[in-house]
Structure 1
Amino acid sequence: MALNMIAQALATTFHRCVQSNGLILAGVLAVVALTAACSSTEESQPVSPGITPNVTEPGSGRAADSVYRRADDLCTHVDFAPLTQVLGAAAAQRGQAHDIAGATDATCSTTLGDLPEGAFVRVHATTGDPGSGRVIFDSLRPAHQADGALTDIADLGSAAYTYQDELTGRYVITHDGNLYLTVVVVPAVDGMDLPADLVDRMTETARATMSRLRE
């Protein structure tokens, strides 16, 4: 009974967090859509003689190459293996997906290990128009910076960082092309010792999941 109450409390906390993030993302993605519309209008205008338009050739940059599929069932794409190796086997996975301002916002949540020694894990992916991942990343980073110190992560997406939220856990956040991706781990019990290489393992989960989502 007590373990079920713990699991329910964790799920409720993350559900509220997802709802809050969804409202923020809706506003950010609305700006993305408006920017894309304005850019389309500008591109349709004739170019004055002597002015060379700024065009990125296909294959010349990450933003042009990185296109990620919209996942109606994110759990089929998430690789929890780097985390299950140290936190324990994954329980039943719960996935959700809905559309926000023209983008697909999807989550996959599960518990790893045996409660109360395990941890709650959530992967959150937002896929939208080209370049939308960076807009979300740049818009939300200042808010995360206010919550605590950020540490940049090399060799993950176009940019990535990690930070610790005292209420909702350890985060790894990245973006690439039209994708914004978050991996979060929160221990089931306050004060629980987590692996020293937790961030590295969360990074591997993010990297593997991005590979599976890439078209």
Structure 2
Amino acid sequence: MRQAGVRSLRTFAVLARTDASGRRAGFEESSTTGETPADAEALRRWSIVHEGADANADTSVAESHLAVVGTLDVHLGAKLPGEILVGRRPFADASADASADAANDQYGFDPLAVVDPPRAYVFNVCVAPEFRGRGVAEAMLRVSYEYLASRTRAAVVYIHVERDNVSARRAYEKALFSIESEETPEQSASAAHEPRILLYREILRASPAF
């Protein structure tokens, strides 16, 4: 992530309880803080907060039978490195983008250069195949939204999705994301990937998450 220019990063995860044989059953929402872990074992070494759990309890036994079934990352910055589509919101101070672009041209990409108030980008949304369609992505999106609303000054959160990924688009629409822009055929061809759409959701501190 550092080599790609992403440093202002937070990772969120969903954990599923397993029985002694390792079979998964259900899931519970969790969030993690810090930089993206290298693997699931690293995730367990972080401060994982389980919804409804006693913050002072010894979780070593409880976590010994948990498996990571979904993760997503959140980046605070004017743009997400490697993506063609760049968010336009908030509209309040367009000069902030021009200043960031000028600094980038002179000094190279600065992932901490943000508009004021800043933007957030959700990326690397991953859900275990057997847990897809069970609300895992929606749960992670809700928790990450609540984090952005309560712990950051971000005014809007963005997410890129392939145009033809119907299931992912449905999950993001359920999480109240709307389309802002779409790659042109020329842009997607030059990037050698399927056409993508950029969706956004404004962050309203006075409203519930969903």
Same fold (TM over 0.5): no
Higher helix proportion (structure 1 or 2): 1
TM-score w.r.t. length of structure 2 = 0.29
| TM-score computed with the length of structure 1 as normaliser | 0.29
Higher relative contact order (CA closer than 8 Å, sequence separation 6+): 1
